[in-house]
A and B are shown apart, each in its own frame.
Chain A
Amino acid sequence: MITLRNITLTRDHKTVFDRFDLHIETGERLVIRGESGSGKTTLLRLIAGFIAPGKGEIIMERKTVTRDSSILVPPDRRNVSMLFQDLALWPHLDVKGNIEFGMRIRKMDRTEREAKVKSLLKMVGLEQYEARRIDTLSGGEQQRIALARALALSPKVLLMDEPLSSLDSERNRMLRKEIVRLQETLGFTLVYVTHNREEARKIATREVEIKS
């Protein structure tokens, strides 16, 4: 479903990828493992369409979305969502504002929006949190809200960039299970980046290791 072909990317005179190939199947939970600095995050940003490599192409659903240094299909047309390592929850918006942001941009009408926000919050187990400010949430709660936001537009592909790295092992385990459960219910393709072997083993239907 997603194919990266012959990707070559250099940054600050260092080669991050050299003729790198990767194929991702629809509906799988692919975990990408690697040391820090090995280019895991860069890989996700390539798939999302924030950046283009110098050489190579990315194909999504038989369409070339990136070729060499040009982005042919912009991020928002790729039906991709992302859970950022720092979560990137906007501090000036409350929980509801964060989750419904994309729906507003897509001019979804109000009742539909509100219903969707409610169901997403229920899904992550944080009903009644709509009006809470981001900085009043605990780390685990922020993680769930970020997850709800990432799922708001029902993406086909969800990219996760070490989303659980800042949680203690108990919370880590709980959220891990929940991510697997959500993926199984909703059926999106998951591309998950981590350096943690155990985490990888528990989530993955397939694992890939990249080396710098």
Chain B
Amino acid sequence: MKSLFLLLGCAFIFSACTSHSTKGTVTVYVSEDQVFSEPLLKDFEKETGIRVHAIYDTEESKSTGVMNRLIAEKANPQADVYWANEPIRAEILRQKGILAPYASPQAEGIPDAFRDREHYWTGFSARIRVLIVQKGLKTKPDSILAYADPKYKGSAVIANPLFGTTTSHIAALFTFWGEQKTKAFMKAMKANHTALATSNGESADFVASGSYGFALVDSDDAVSRLKAGKPVEIVYPDQGDKGTGVFVVPNAVMLIRKAPHPENAKKLIDYLLGKESEKKLAFADCAQIPLHKGIPAPDTLKPIRDLKTMPVDFKQVAQKMIEIQPYLKAWSQSK
């Protein structure tokens, strides 16, 4: 009995110790890889004196992630800010009434396509979906259609489309190509013995280690393998006249409804959306593409203006994604 009270006492001291700071604190849930996001949050701490309590997540199927947490915590939110690695799931949170609108002054200059009209989320520092290709491969794929091409039978891998940016990408294809064409593509991909990885990072590793010829991944996954000196190269898919163009996935930052520290939350959002942050993310290993104009981009990736991009409406994509989830589950589990 005594030891229990002692323990409760300890917990009190614990929580008392962890929560005080002169400039206050801000709690942020982060889906962007910790390797890339943590340095930026540390900088924010240093510059503002506001303590950042973060929960990191891995974006892929290995965890149930902070999304579930945000949903489960809806009645009594613990988080102030959610830094998502793509805007589609932000839409889901908005629909569930978990977000509050915030029009950050720093959002000025970010193209409208990457912002929610009602300011529930704002995009920044984008990644593009690229093909990471094994250096030795004789004929290089130049389109995601290569997944369905018998020439590449058994030599391609893709992250499980139930999770992460891969879901968004497939959903975007559904809105762009329409249901019939996309489903045919998916079917052909399966028939072509495409392997499933648990994450984009893992598919990139599979290609880097020579297990597979190519994979559709996020640009940061590809760039980090390239910088680690792996025998891979990056191909920007579907750049021809008839191609769909690359799918651009911005990070998205959003304010949580009934956030415990709304003022600091807004400061953090402003900070993340600022040009300085975009620059830092651009020159970090993730080589993310700035959305503000006039920020120099890293030379590992082509600047976005030199690329043909796939036009998408993220709201529509989000809607589509919810619709096709059961289909994707069946697809990923089928043989």
- Do A's and B's CB atoms come within 8 Å in the complex? no
* Residues of chain B having any CB pair with chain A under 8 Å: none
The interface of chain A, by Cβ under 8 A from chain B, is: none
